[in-house]
Amino acid sequence: MLVIRLFCNQGMSTSLLVNKMRDAAAKQGIEVDIAAYPANELADRLDGVDCALLGPQVGYMKGKMGEICAAENVPMDVIPMVDYGMCNGEKVLEFAKNLAGK
């Protein structure tokens, strides 16, 4: 099971992307647990997580969030703007898999 957490301003703007990623995983036969949360909940949402993704709108928080994730040994990066904007669940899922080393 691949556990992915997305973080954005309120945890709502990424809900469509989460659904697209779940669809892509189902097509690939990959078992996933993907959810989106507000960025201010990142520190409380890292238990058992394979990777954390930041929405581009909170990419400016990468340094601070990176320190929190590093302390928990959770790889983290910002979702590429074009894939986020196009809501490309397949590409973002691949991005997450590569980040998680899976």
Domain ranges of the chain: 2-100
pTM of the model: 0.95
Q: Which of 8, 51, 69, 87 is catalytic?
A: 8
Contacts of 101 (CB under 8 A, 6+ apart): 75
Q: Which tokens hold the place of 21?
A: 């990623």
Which residue, chain included where needed, has tokens 């097509």?
27
8 has catalytic annotation: yes
The domain made up of 2-100 is a member of CATH 3.40.50.2300: yes
- Look at residue 48 in the predicted model and tell me its pLDDT: 97
Q: What is d(CA 5, CA 44) in angstroms, rounded to the nearest whole number?
A: 11
- State pLDDT tens for residues 34-68: 999 999 999 999 999 999 999 999 999 999 999 99
